Amino acid sequence: MRRSSAWHVALAALLACGPNAQTPAAGDSVAHTPPTDSLVLTGAAGVEIWLTLARRSTGADGEECVERGLEIRQDGRRVQVPLLYTGSPPVLLNDSTMRATLWTHCAPGDSYRVDLRSGHPVRERAGGAP
């Protein structure tokens, strides 16, 4: 590399680090740290419901939120609840079933009954019946 070219490269690097350089603000979405797993519910026989996976979403009003996936843990076994992201805690219905609400674009939608053994969700009809 010629001497003048090396000097121009060095000058450009220094200017990029100067006071006018653009750095992401604390609230920018450049580097979001995913939330850690969170225990949200415990039931009989040691069953635990955890919030695990996370996805960022934006509501109709432009507000951002994080919708979380559910995982059932018991006796060292982990069962993901498929395709059900939520923004509210699930509710234990009995020893084998919980209710979870599907969230899309930061808004609650249909409720699902989830089998605590298999993780299989079944959409509830109006009035709470599966």
- For the chain, domain boundaries: 38-123
- Pick from 5, 74, 14: nearest CA to 41: 74
Distances (CA, A) of 89 to 2, 6, 92, 120: 64, 59, 10, 17
pLDDT in tens, 79-114: 999 999 999 999 999 999 999 999 999 999 999 999
pTM exceeds 0.85, yes or no: no
Query: 38: pLDDT confidence band, cut at 50, 70 and 90?
Result: very high
